[in-house]
Structure 1
């Protein structure tokens, strides 16, 4: 899955290391064959990070619509995916699911054709198909004309992603036959409920069938009410469900963020960006399936004021989680790496700095500026840190 590591032994010295569970003092992380060998106290290192830098497991983002000026729907190609992944790597994301929102059958098929080659791009863990089986009453920015129950043509393309890394589908469980959920899970896909007006009972039935996630909690779903808990209530109350959350201070109020964390805990609530093409650029506008989307006060909206994804990166989500929820940096880092890795079934591969784990790492300073990333031990150093690299 684009994670081929170097055969060269690499060692990174850092004064502050978060190993996926605890903050540790000075140490040296040894890497061989793209995997972590261990953390030692040796003095000799290939790379010495700045004294204030924190070395941590790389971020894993399961919802990335675009970045670097590219929307996946517009460029469902190897080149398009590479641009998106490279833009987010600069913000600490070392593993992601490029995300295709609701679109025509031809667009799904184009991405399906390119998907296998895209898995060779460092940082691509799989794909996320958000739609087309959504509830029109909770469509958000998705094009209503393309929302539909997948036919056999759609299903063939969607199911092909089941063996393309760790891919997932967001759907409204109440809008598809239960047998379709079984079919998608049987093909190897993870299923998340989203853009859904389901009752809590309907979500419970879907979870019994194997649905394991909820997409951008609180947004585009039935809310928690006194006599009908809806998708939100089901998500908060069911420990079997992972939930992604957009921590930008816009999509969810800080009180809602705190409630979500209190109910789900750091091991089930995961940070996502829901990023759009403007991430990693200085642009202020883009076209989303013919609609003009404008960035203003960090908010992406169409002319009617409907939110259109988020202008967010993972390092910003980590920073916001600490500031808005009031949690420790360690908890925020777990929500950005270990938890989404567990959701994808990669908990024994990603999210920790421990022997045998992939050497997917991020280094950042106290201002939440990324100074370096490594995918399979292959590094990309930020400008602020190039002078510190030796050997």
Structure 2
């Protein structure tokens, strides 16, 4: 754990604003592409080790609220890290308790959780109807149908919707077979799955792709779509030096062409190859 923190510090990572822990306190039934034997019941010692290993960059943590001790962990540490409900098999009951305990985000809504039905709202219904909660949506055209994306963005509204990528290690590398950690992933036609299965293993898309999806599928103006991929997350996590074009802000910029493809990237005002 200490070595991990040292590696982060030595690498400088100038554009890594924070670390999101997608686990290990997740539901086995809704683990998706997560490693089964790495999942744990909420544990104070493990939590402290993870936070320490992040070297001061721990920002968020996904947790399944129905697990024993999850609500208590949220209550104890809600001022240290932003908890997100996700990878959960909850029917909505524990999700609402988690929000009352201090969780403030829904991790990639709809994915790795029960579907919302007319009698069982589940985490989806609980998050969409709670004005305290930011709703993450994977807008890659694969994880969510256009209808689901439309319903969620209209319900959560322009201020609570955060478009995310769920990008994994093969992002930008094209189709092929990839192995990392203990996972073997195949990417075909831009869709990443665990090799030999239909289980999605994250995505291989960028935030610029999410913005383009919001414009083309949802019919949003570019400025509003930019709010969903940048400004909302900044406000949600309490960052004040980025996410909007303003004098004094960090100039981390992505320049898009009229057809919404990336033309240039700037890191703190300096063009990056």
Settle same-fold status: TM greater than 0.5: yes
- Structure-2 change in CA distance of 1:167 and 1:161 (3 Å): farther
Q: Is the 8 A contact 1:112 1:157 kept in 2?
A: no
Task: State how far apart, in whole Å, the 2-side matches of 1:152 and 1:268 are.
Answer: 30
Instruction: Tell whether the 8 Å contact from 1:161 to 1:167 is kept in structure 2 after alignment.
Output: no
* Residues 322-368 of structure 1: CA deviation (Å, up to 9, x unaligned): 1122222111111111011112211x222211233222222111122
Aligned to 1:212: 104
- Stretches (4+) displaced over 4 A: none
Query: Is 2:59–2:82's contact at 8 Å kept on the other side of the alignment?
Result: yes
Larger Cα Rg: Structure 1 or Structure 2? 1
Q: 1:297 to 1:240 in 2, by over 3 A?
A: same
Structure 1 residue runs without a partner (length 5+): 1-107, 383-391
Normalising by structure 1, report the TM-score: 0.65
Q: What SS class does the counterpart of residue 279 from structure 1 fall into?
A: coil
TM-score (norm: length of structure 2) = 0.91
Residue number in structure 2 paired with 1:225 = 117
Kindly state the Cα deviation for residue 232 of structure 1 after the two structures are TM-superposed.
0.5
Candidates 124, 131, 138, aligned match of 2:16: 124
Aligned position for 2:270? 378
Q: Where does structure 2 lack aligned partners over 5 or more consecutive residues?
A: none
Aligned partner of 2:77 in structure 1 is 184
List per-residue Cα deviations over 1:83-125 (Å, max 9, x = no partner): xxxxxxxxxxxxxxxxxxxxxxxxx66534434445x322100
SS of 1:362's partner is strand
How many residues in Structure 1 have an aligned counterpart in Structure 2? 271
Does the residue aligned with 1:243 lie in a helix, a strand or coil?
strand
2:225 corresponds to which residue? 332
2:163 to 252, 271, 289: 271
**Residue 306 of structure 1 is aligned with which of 174, 178, 199?**
199
**Residues 166/159 of structure 1: CA separation in 2 closer, same or farther (3 Å cut):** closer
Deviation at 1:207, TM superposition (A): 1.1
1-side partners of 2:7 and 2:17: how far apart? Answer: 14
- Which structure has more relative contact order (CA 8 Å, sep 6+)? It is 1
**Paired residue for 1:137, among 6, 29, 38?**
29
RMSD across aligned C-alpha pairs, in angstroms?
A: 2.0
CA drift at 1:143: 1.3
Task: For 1:153 and 1:166, locate their aligned partners in 2 and report how far apart those are by CA, in whole Å.
Answer: 16
**1:44-87 deviation digits (Å, cap 9, x = unpaired):** xxxxxxxxxxxxxxxxxxxxxxxxxxxxxxxxxxxxxxxxxxxx
Match of 2:93 in 1: 201
| Aligned residues of 2:19 and 2:54 also touching (Cα < 8 A) | no
